[in-house]
Structure 1
C-alpha cells in the first residue's frame, strides 16, 4: 500500500504543477529561472517523447493501459520483497497515470520543464516524464543488482 501512496504523491505534484502552468501562463510563454540553464515554458505535446507519433491518442491510450496493468501486476507479485524495485514501479506508475490524465482530458500533455544541458536545448518535459525516466532507471538498476547477486551465488556454489 505504501508504494501506491508514492504513486499518488507523484500524480498530485504532476497535476498541480501542470495546472499552475496552464492557469497562469500563455501557451509558449517562458520564464527564465536559471539563466542559460532552466526555464519554465508552457508547452503542449500531442505525441510522445520529442513529439513523435503526434496526434495518435488511441495508441497512447492502449499502450498506457497495458503498461499500467503490467506495473500493477508486478507490484502485486513483488509486494513483499524487493522494496527498491517496488519504488521504481510506483514511480513509473505515477508518471504513466500523470500523463494519461492529460491525454484523456486534454488530448495532449502539458510540458513545462525546459533545460539546456551543455548547450543542448533538451525537449520540454514535465514531472510525469521525469518520474517515468527515474522509475525505469530504478528498475534497470535493481534488475542488474539482482542479476549480479544471482551470478555471485552461482559462482560460490
Structure 2
C-alpha cells in the first residue's frame, strides 16, 4: 500500500519501519538520560511502569553476553522480508503493517546490539511480563499481524478455489 504525496509514493511498510526505528531509538536515549540503571518509575498504577535494564542477551535475558550475534539474525530477517516483498509475495495491509513493525523492531534492537553491546529495556506491562522496549512490542505485534495476514490470505484462497 502506497501513500502519495508531492514527491511520489512511499510504501506503508517503509513508513512504519522508519517510524518504529526512530521511536524506539528516541525512547531508549530518553530512558538512558532520565533514569539510572535498575531504577523503577511507577505511573499511579501497576498496569505499566518503567524499569531501566540493559540486556546483553536475547528475549527473557537468555544468552547473556551474546547479544551481538543476534545482529546477524536481525539482518537475515530484514533481508528475507525485503526479498519476498520485492518478489511480490508479501502484500496486503496486514502484511505491510506486520512486516513494517517486525523490520523496524529488528533494526531498532540491532542498532543497540551493534553499537552498545546490549539492548535498553524499560517497559513493564503488569506484574507478569518481562522488561521490553518499543522494538520488542513492535516485533510482537508484527508477528501477530503477519499470522493474521497469512490466515486471511489462506481463507481468501480457499474461498476462490471452492
Same fold (TM over 0.5): yes
**More deviation in 72-81 or 85-94?**
72-81
Consecutive unaligned residues of structure 2, counting only runs of 5 or more, are 1-9
Contact 1:45 1:111 in 2 (8 A): yes
Moved over 3 A (4+): none
- Which residue in the other structure is 1:17 paired with? 27
**Equivalent residue number for residue 61 of structure 1:** 71
Q: Which residue of 2 aligns with 1:32?
A: 42
Count of residues paired in the alignment: 152
**What is the deviation of 1:73?**
1.3
Q: 1:48 to 1:72 in 2, by over 3 A?
A: same
TM-score (norm 1): 0.90
What is the Cα deviation at residue 25 of structure 1? 0.5
Matches within 5 A, 1:6-155: 6-78=16-88, 81-116=91-126, 120-155=127-162
Q: Distance in 2 between matches of 1:95 and 1:58?
A: 15
Distance 2:25 2:89 in 1: 26
Report the aligned-residue RMSD. Answer: 1.6
Q: Which runs of 5+ in 1 are unaligned?
A: none
Distance 1:16 1:109 in 2: 13
